[in-house]
Amino acid sequence: MNSLFYALPFVMVAVLIIMGLYTVLFKRNLIKMIMGVAIIQNGVNLFLVSLAYREGYVAPIWTSAPDVDMVLPTPHALTLTSIVIGVATTALMLSFVIMLKKHYGTTDSHETRRCKE
């Protein structure tokens, strides 16, 4: 039971990434595809945070911490960087969808592929 508790975040990572991949690959609406990419990004962020967790370790934010083992801050810094990059790419993708909607009148990916000028 104890090992199942520690494997739960990794199971959720797999579920999030599979849900996101399904959404990106099998949905036709561009907004839903962008939501799928965001779900994949959240799965990767959960994976990075889950890798950094160590039971009994202390967060490295104390300046006068006792002499104990500390968690590495690198995965958390990578997660924060990933969140910022994810927000920027999501905003860029949504702006592209807005332009496609104005130009073609639809957010269906198959329809926008057929409407070539």
- Give the pLDDT score at 110: 82
Please state which of the four CATH numbers 1.10.10.60, 3.40.50.880, 1.10.287.3510, 2.40.128.20 is assigned to the domain occupying 2-53+71-114: 1.10.287.3510
CA–CA distance, 48 with 94 (Å, rounded to integer): 26
What confidence tens digit (pLDDT) does each residue in 35-59 have?
A: 999 999 999 999 998 888 777 777 7
pLDDT digits (tens, 9 = 90+) for 1-45: 677 777 888 999 999 999 999 999 999 999 999 999 999 999 999
Exposure b/e, 28-39, CB count within 10 A at least 16 = b: eebeebbbbbbb
Residues in the chain: 117
Question: pTM value?
Answer: 0.84
